[in-house]
Amino acid sequence: MNKGKVYLVGAGPGDPKLITVRGLECLKQCDVVVYDRLASPRLLRYLKPGTEKIYVGKLPDRHTMKQEDINQLLVDLALEGKTVTRLKGGDPSIFGRVGEEAELLVDNGIEFEIVPGITSAIAVPAYAGIPVTHRDLASSLSIITGHESPDKLDRSIHWDKVTNATGTLIFLMGVAKIGYIAEQLMKHGKPPQTPVALVRWGTRVEQRTVVGTLETIEAVVKEADFKPPAVIIVGEVVLQREKLQWYEKKPLFGTRVLVTRARAQASELADRIEALGGEPCEFPVIETREPSEPADLEALQAALERAEQYEWLMFTSVNGVDYFFHWLRKFRIDARRFHGAKVAAVGPKTAEALAQRGLIAEELPVLFHAEGLLEQLASRLQPGERVLLPRGDLAREVLPRELKALGLVPTEIDVYETVIAEEHDELALEWLREKDIHMITFTSSSTVTNLLEVLKRSGIENPARLLSEIPIASIGPVTSKTIMAAGLKPTVEAEDSTLDGLLRAIVDYRTANKQTL
C-alpha cells in the first residue's frame, strides 16, 4: 500500500473564517482529520462526506491524548495510505509542537506539509481592539509561553532580557501565572503602571477581556474569576483598546445562534449572523430530496407535461423553484411551454430565485405567506383558471383549499420531500443541553417538529422542556403557531417572514437584553 500524506494545518485562533485558503483546501481533501479543542468545530462542516474525525483533546472520561501518541497516530494513519489533516489551533509552529510531529513523519518516510495559520498572539489582541504594534507606542513584540510552573518559567525565560527587549510582550497560556509574570516584569524594570490586558477565547463568541496594570492585574483577574485559555498583552498598545474596540461592539457579539434550516440553505443565515458578530451553530434538522414513490414521480411528470394548460404558476418557496426546474431538466420539458401562465411568488427570496431563471413574478404580497399571496392576487384570479402549485410534500393546504373556494382549479405537485436530517453535530447537542445556545431560530414549521424529533432520538426525554429555557426566534406567524402547538413560546417573531425580518427581531431582542444573553 502506498503511504499517505499529512498536512499540519494551523486553524487560526477560533473564528473559523480566519483559516487560510490553503488550510481549507487541506480540510476539504483529507480522508481523516485529527483535531483538538482550540480548532473551531465549525471547520468540520467543510469535510467531504465520509471523512473520519478523530478528536485528540480532553473529554469528560479521559485527558488530552499525549503528544507522543498523537505523533504516532499521524504516522499510523499515513501508513494506511490515508491523507491526513492535523488541525491545530492558531499557527502550528508557535508553541504548537509541530516540529515533534514532523520529525516522526520524516523518520518514517512520510510526506508532509506545514500550513501556517494566523496565530492567536496577533489575532486575539486585534479582536479586542489592541494592535500589537503602533508607530508611536511599540515597534517590536515578543511572543512568550506562560504555560509553565514558576521554576520552569525562570529556566525558559531570561526575565532580565525579555522584560525590556520589545515594546509589546505577548504571553500565551499564562493566566494561572499572571501574578508571577507581573512580579517578574516589575522586578526587572517594567513600571508598575504598564498596561496589561487578558483576552479569553479571543475571536470566539465567548471572548472576554479584562484590563489593568502590572501592579493590579492579578487582583483584576481574581475578582473577575478569569479562566484560561487567554492571551496576555503587556505594553502601551493596550491603551488603544478604549478607542479601537470593534468586535465586542457588534450587535450580536456574545450570542450563539442555533440555525435549524436545511444544510443547503443554512449558510446564508449563518453568514449574516457572523457579520453581526454572533456565532451561528449550524444544526440542520431537515433535508430535501426527490420524491421516492414511483407513482408520485409519474403524477409529477404528467402534471408538468400539461404545461400549456396552466394560467398560473404559484411558488411558495425557493426549494419549490429549484426543484421545479430540476424536474424540467430531468424530464426534458421546455420551460417555454408555460408561456401562457402568469407567475406568482410568496416572498422576495422565492421571487429572486425565479428572477435568476429569467422569470419575473407578479406583484409580491405584503405578508409573505399563502394567505398574503391570495389577498394580493384576489382581484386578478378568475374562476376556472388552472393553477400549478410546485411544492414540498409537507406544504400547508391553505393555498389549494382557498383557490378551490374561489372557483380555480389547482394542481398540486410534490416536487420534493422534506425528511429529518440524518447527521447531527454532537457539539451542538452538548451546547443545547448546557444552555450554551443563546437563541434558537425556526424558519419553518418543519424545523420545529424535526428539531424536537431529533432531540428525542438523541436521548433527550423532554425536548420541549429543554428548549423552553432558551429564547426562540420565529420567522413568522405560521411557524409561531407550530412552535406554540409544540408547547413552546416564541420569544421574538419577525414582522415580515424573511431572513431580514428574523435578524432584525433577534438584534432588537439582543440589544434590549444584553445582560441576560
Q: What cell numbers appear for 219 in the block?
A: 487582583
Q: Are 324 and 390 in contact (CB under 8 A)?
A: yes
- The candidate with the shortest Cα–Cα distance to 273, out of 287, 261, 288, 289, is 261
Distance CA 426, CA 150 (A): 38
- The candidate with the shortest Cα–Cα distance to 206, out of 467, 498, 517, is 517
Write the DSSP assignment of 325-356 as a string of letters. Answer: HHHHHHHT--GGGGTT-EEEESSHHHHHHHHT
* Active-site annotation holds for 58: yes
The answer for residues whose C-beta is within 8 angstroms of residue 342's C-beta and 6 or more apart is 311, 312, 313, 362, 380
Exposure string for 132-154, b = 16+ CB within 10 A, e = fewer:
bebeebbeebbbbebbeeeeebe
Give φ, ψ of 175 to 5 degrees. -60, -45
Candidate list 17, 48, 58, 456, residue with the active-site label: 58
- DSSP-based helix, strand, coil % in the chain, nearest 5: 40, 20, 40
Candidate list 36, 296, 436, 500, residue with the active-site label: 36
* Active-site annotation holds for 36: yes
The size of the chain, in residues, is 517
Distance CA 318, CA 354 (A): 8
Q: What is the CA radius of gyration of the chain?
A: 28
Q: Are 279 and 256 in contact (CB under 8 A)?
A: yes
Distance CA 505, CA 273 (A): 12
Q: Are 403 and 382 in contact (CB under 8 A)?
A: no
The answer for residues whose C-beta is within 8 angstroms of residue 1's C-beta and 6 or more apart is 79, 80, 81
Q: What cell numbers appear for 46 in the block?
A: 467543510
Candidate list 5, 31, 91, 173, residue with the active-site label: 173
Distance CA 114, CA 322 (A): 41
Q: Are 100 and 112 in contact (CB under 8 A)?
A: no
Beta-bridge partner residues of 62: 59
Quote the Cα angle for 86-91-95, to 5°: 95
Exposure string for 263-291, b = 16+ CB within 10 A, e = fewer:
bebbeebbebbbebbbbbbbbbbbbbeeb
CB neighbourhood size of 404 (10 A): 12
What stretches of 351-476 adopt beta strand conformation (E)? Answer: 386-392, 409-420, 439-442, 472-474
Write out the catalytic residue numbers.
Answer: 36, 58, 173
